[in-house]
């Protein structure tokens, strides 16, 4: 057993001080004293948070999920652990079926290997079932109509599918996925009308991919996908790097969705953690300058920010308390995936996924399933 002492423990509804967090692979207890024979970790007054879950991330530190290699998955896992991420969904791009299959095979291997970094929960399939009008940084040459047959071989790997419901004839794909799998359907890169998006939500689509970006916007006569996102109880991903969404809307997002339905993501590409320069995303050149990643056309191509920075940005520009805001990157993504019985908070009995941050939300230690995977205490 291990025990974290001298930390401020961030629970959903309160911050505990002068308490001890006791764990092995699971959270065992929050107690007044360290049990005898227990290894101690001194948090030195820092914040003890649930580990973060990034449900939408393409790459980091020069590696991309679409490389389809163990090396790429290992590098991403290790690099994001430095920012308090304890588990994640490597995310694919719209490319040919062979390339996507290779990437999904590497994710499957990652799910079943011991990696010295954040745990691979499965894959987020972003495309190829999207709309060319709102493809963003996706490669339009490989966009296809939604197909359950495409997905069948990887039902054990794919946890989220970003798709355009208006391209789903009679909502057959939506119904097939909801009737036959536990995969989460997320509306994104979509030209859907408000009615089309709302109908898909009624049939079981319960997430929105990087809300505001890559979709029909809010209009007072046709509220679009954004209108459906804001007026239903779906989980909404947000890239809160202040580039994809102005910080002036963060409180509006919170007021509209409530703190239980906001999911912070990075949508990071391979340049995450690296300097400005030219990189690649889905086989396309991406220029990173002043913290923004763009295709040569000027379209945003994911972010280069870390999840703890997203949390910090949201905290600084909303009314949330620190213990509340960390759950937008831990409990809420866990709920969106249906794994909140195991992950997402420091409740007794859950996986010991823990991160220790200072007041600026710099990460000093990350613990996944009770094992230290990053340490700068």
Q: Mean of the pLDDT values across residues 277-287?
A: 88
User: Residue 282's pLDDT is what?
Assistant: 76
Cite the active site residues: 267
Q: Which residues contact 125 (CB under 8 A, 6 or more apart)?
A: 91, 92, 100, 104, 151, 154, 158, 160, 161, 162
Q: Mean of the pLDDT values across residues 76-81?
A: 98
Is the sign of the CA dihedral 306, 136, 198, 148 positive or negative?
negative
User: Residue 283's pLDDT is what?
Assistant: 77
> How far apart are the C-alpha atoms of 311 and 237, rounded to whole Å?
13
User: Residue 2's pLDDT is what?
Assistant: 98
Residue 280: is its pLDDT beyond 90? no
**Which residue shows structure tokens 């079943």?**
112
C-alpha distance from residue 277 to each of 233, 239, 273, 296, 299 (Å): 39, 21, 12, 12, 16
Q: Mean of the pLDDT values across residues 310-325?
A: 98
Report percent pLDDT > 70 for the chain.
Answer: 100
User: Residue 233's pLDDT is what?
Assistant: 97
Identify the band that residue 281 occupies on the pLDDT scale cut at 50, 70 and 90: confident
User: Residue 190's pLDDT is what?
Assistant: 98
Helix (H, G, I), strand (E, B) or coil at 205: coil
User: Residue 69's pLDDT is what?
Assistant: 98
Say how far residue 289 (Cα) sits from the centre of its chain: 23
pLDDT digits (tens, 9 = 90+) for 82-133: 999 999 999 999 999 999 999 999 999 999 999 999 999 999 999 899 999 9
pLDDT digits (tens, 9 = 90+) for 339-374: 999 999 999 999 999 999 999 999 999 999 999 999
The average confidence (pLDDT) of the chain is: 97
Residue 244: is its pLDDT beyond 90? yes
pLDDT digits (tens, 9 = 90+) for 173-228: 999 999 999 999 999 999 999 999 999 999 999 999 999 999 999 999 999 999 99
Centre a 10 Å sphere on the Cβ of residue 13 and count the other Cβ atoms it contains: 8
Terminal Cα distance for the chain, rounded: 19
Helix (H, G, I), strand (E, B) or coil at 280: strand
Identify the bridge partners of residue 338 per DSSP, sorted by sequence position.
Answer: none
């Amino acid at each position: 057993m291990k025990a974290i002492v001298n930390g401020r423990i961030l629970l959903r509804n309160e911050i505990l001080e002068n308490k001890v967090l006791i764990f092995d692979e699971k959270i065992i207890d929050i107690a007044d004293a360290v049990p005898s024979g227990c290894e101690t970790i001194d948090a030195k007054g820092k914040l003890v948070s649930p580990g973060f879950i990034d449900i939408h991330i393409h790459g980091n530190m020069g590696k991309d999920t679409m490389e389809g290699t163990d090396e790429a998955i290992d590098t991403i896992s290790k690099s994001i652990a430095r920012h308090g991420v304890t588990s994640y969904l490597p995310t694919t791009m719209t490319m040919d079926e062979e390339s996507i299959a290779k990437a999904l095979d590497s994710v499957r291997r990652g799910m079943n290997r011991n990696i010295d970094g954040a745990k691979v929960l499965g894959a987020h399939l972003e495309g190829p079932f999207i709309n060319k009008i709102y493809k963003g940084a996706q490669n339009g040459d490989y966009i296809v109509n939604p197909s359950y047959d495409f997905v069948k071989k990887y039902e054990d790997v794919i946890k989220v599918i970003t798709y355009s419901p208006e391209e789903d004839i009679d909502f057959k794909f939506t119904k097939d996925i909801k009737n036959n799998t536990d995969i989460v359907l997320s509306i994104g890169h979509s030209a859907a009308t408000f009615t089309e998006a709302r109908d898909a939500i009624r049939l079981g689509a319960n997430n929105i991919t990087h809300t505001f970006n890559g979709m029909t916007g809010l209009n007072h006569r046709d509220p679009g996908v954004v209108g459906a996102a804001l007026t239903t109880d779906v989980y909404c991903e947000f890239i809160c790097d202040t580039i994809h969404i102005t910080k002036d809307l963060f409180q509006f997002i919170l007021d509209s969705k409530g703190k239980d339905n906001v999911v912070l993501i990075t949508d990071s590409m391979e340049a995450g953690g690296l300097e400005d320069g030219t990189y690649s995303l889905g086989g396309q050149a991406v220029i990173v300058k002043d913290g923004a990643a763009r295709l040569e056309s000027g379209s945003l191509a994911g972010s280069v920010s870390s999840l703890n920075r997203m949390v910090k940005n949201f905290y600084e520009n909303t009314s949330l308390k620190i213990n509340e805001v960390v759950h937008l990157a831990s409990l809420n993504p866990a709920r969106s995936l249906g794994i909140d019985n195991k992950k997402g908070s420091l409740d007794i009995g859950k996986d010991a996924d823990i991160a220790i941050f200072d007041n600026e939300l710099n990460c000093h230690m990350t613990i996944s399933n009770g094992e230290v995977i990053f340490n700068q205490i």
